[in-house]
């Protein structure tokens, strides 16, 4: 189910905000030429409030299992650092894109891709070790 | 055996992230409901002069149900780490966890009393909301302190 969450959330975000930085900016800040209204500050806050809770719980649970895997400490450290740090960057840059500057949208885009992919990678590792009974 | 360094790394990130999540909750509370009991009461019970519609029971349920799950899960996940610490007494641990659950329940359920005209619950909602945020902050601070000390102790042993 966590696997489905990581994949499904990527689809949900690309459907709701857009699948590239420019369409994400259009969704967040609107576009007068295309008559697209910007998202309200309350909607932005509600999104970050809900999505952060879900992503923290999903990544924290996954990484708690990664800690117990039969792989090197360095490998575990890299997975945990990349996933949690990119989630942190993605969450902060989502707010800074809306409130400060458009340039942060690239950080949001990259951070979002990275924490989802590292979550998926960690789950594949977990599945593999469970399958081969290495864990 | 789980590496204390990696455990500290994971717990630190989780604490920073949940702090931001709590921060977004505070920001939302202030933006939507306001800071005073009268503002909170007007938001839920409605006010004809300010053209604010009263909130419906169904609308409140839609917010309350996910919050009951999310807050109880968050308290359970983070507070269970207290069981492995000795930094505060058992009595204080019980008080902290009890305070977290009671303040969260009061915060979520007081909206239902407000829409039925009980003005006092606007005040209770504000007090319980800020109590929950402060207690959660205290819990996260204790966990970070314990994780940091445990990491330092392990590092000293290795030297």
**Cβ separation of B20 and A88 shorter than 8 Å?**
yes
Higher pLDDT, A52 or A133: A52
Over residues B66-105, the pLDDT tens digits come to 999 999 999 998 898 888 888 888 899 999 999 999 999 9
Mutate which of A40, A49, A78 to test chain B, going by most B C-beta atoms within 10 A? A49
Over residues A56-91, the pLDDT tens digits come to 999 999 999 998 888 888 999 999 999 999 999 999
By C-alpha distance, the chain B residue nearest A90 is B17
Per-residue pLDDT at A80: 93
Q: Look at phi and psi of residue A84 and say left if phi exceeds 0, alpha if psi is from -120 to 50, else beta.
A: alpha
What value of ipTM does the predicted structure carry?
A: 0.85
- Global pTM reads 0.86
By C-alpha distance, the chain A residue nearest B75 is A57
3-class DSSP state of B49: coil
Domain boundaries, chain A: 2-132
**Mean pLDDT taken over chain A:** 89
Per-residue pLDDT at A110: 93
Per-residue pLDDT at B85: 82
**Cβ separation of A84 and B17 shorter than 8 Å?**
yes
Over residues B105-139, the pLDDT tens digits come to 999 999 999 999 899 999 999 999 999 999 999 99
By C-alpha distance, the chain B residue nearest A40 is B31
Q: Whole-angstrom Cα distance, residue B116 to residue B126?
A: 17
Mutate which of A59, A60, A78, A114 to test chain B, going by most B C-beta atoms within 10 A? A60
In this structure, what token pair is assigned to residue A122? Answer: 């960690």
Per-residue pLDDT at B98: 95
Over residues B5-31, the pLDDT tens digits come to 888 888 889 999 999 999 999 999 999
**Cβ separation of A84 and B77 shorter than 8 Å?**
no
pLDDT above 70 (res A134): no
Residues 6+ apart with CB under 8 A from B37: B119, B122, B123, B126
Burial-class residue B136 by CB neighbours within 10 Å (0-12, 13-18, 19+). Answer: buried
Query: With contact defined as beta carbons under 8 Å apart, do A111 and A89 qualify?
Result: yes
pLDDT category at B1 given cuts 50, 70, 90 is low
Higher pLDDT, A34 or A49: A49
Mutate which of A51, A52, A85, A94 to test chain B, going by most B C-beta atoms within 10 A? A52
pLDDT above 90 (res B156): no
Query: With contact defined as beta carbons under 8 Å apart, do B50 and B42 qualify?
Result: yes
């Amino acid at each position: 189910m966590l696997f489905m969450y990581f994949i499904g959330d990527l689809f949900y975000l690309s459907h709701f905000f857009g699948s590239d930085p420019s369409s994400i900016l259009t969704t967040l800040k609107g576009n007068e030429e295309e008559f697209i209204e910007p998202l309200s500050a309350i909607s932005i806050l509600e999104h970050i409030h809900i999505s952060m809770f879900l992503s923290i719980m999903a990544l924290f649970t996954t990484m708690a299992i990664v800690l117990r895997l039969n792989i090197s400490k360095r490998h575990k450290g890299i997975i945990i650092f990349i996933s949690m740090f990119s989630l942190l960057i993605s969450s902060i840059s989502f707010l800074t894109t809306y409130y400060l500057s458009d340039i942060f949208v690239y950080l949001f885009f990259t951070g979002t891709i990275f924490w989802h992919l590292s979550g998926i990678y960690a789950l594949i590792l977990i599945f593999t070790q469970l399958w081969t009974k290495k864990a | 055996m789980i590496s204390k360094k990696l455990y500290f790394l994971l717990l630190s990130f989780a604490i920073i992230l949940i702090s931001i999540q709590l921060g977004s909750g505070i920001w939302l509370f202030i933006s939507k409901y306001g800071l005073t009991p009268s503002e909170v009461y007007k938001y839920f019970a409605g006010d004809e002069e300010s053209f604010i519609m009263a909130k419906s029971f169904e609308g409140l349920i839609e917010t309350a149900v996910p919050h009951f799950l999310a807050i109880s899960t968050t308290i359970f996940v983070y507070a269970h780490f207290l069981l492995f610490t000795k930094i505060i007494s058992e009595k204080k641990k019980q008080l902290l966890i009890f305070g977290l659950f009671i303040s969260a329940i009061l915060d979520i359920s007081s909206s239902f009393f407000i829409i039925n005209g009980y003005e006092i619950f606007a005040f209770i909602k504000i007090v319980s909301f800020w109590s929950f945020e402060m207690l959660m902050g205290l819990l996260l601070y204790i966990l970070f302190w314990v994780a940091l000390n445990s990491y330092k102790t392990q590092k000293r042993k290795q030297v």
